Amino acid sequence: MSAILLNKAKARDCDYVLYGFILLAYNIDITTLSTRDFLKGLHSKQYPSFEGVGRCRRKLQEKHPELRGTKWNARHAEQEKVKTEINLF
């Protein structure tokens, strides 16, 4: 995944938006693509997996703070709270 795509502000905070930009980069016309054809394409690995795109975004943002979105700090603050709650079990 190109770091250029993360220069789209909304894509830095939302994997759905990022995935839309990825499909556009693959020249996929999402306005005419049927759900059936999209799912077939995912199954046959014509498109990257949604989970893989999210993992890649997280790794890039971990290593390159300049690519982080506006919600990054809030998400990580919440992450510590959740970790603490889980450890209480």
* Domains of the chain by residue range: 3-87
pTM, full prediction: 0.73
> What's residue 80's pLDDT?
79
Rounded CA-CA distance 12/36 in Å is: 28
Neighbour count for residue 75 (Cβ, 10 Å): 13
Residue spans of the chain under pLDDT 50: none
Take residue 49 and report the two structure tokens written for it: 């997996």
Rounded CA-CA distance 8/17 in Å is: 9
> What's residue 78's pLDDT?
82
Using DSSP's 3-state secondary structure scheme, residue 86 falls into: helix
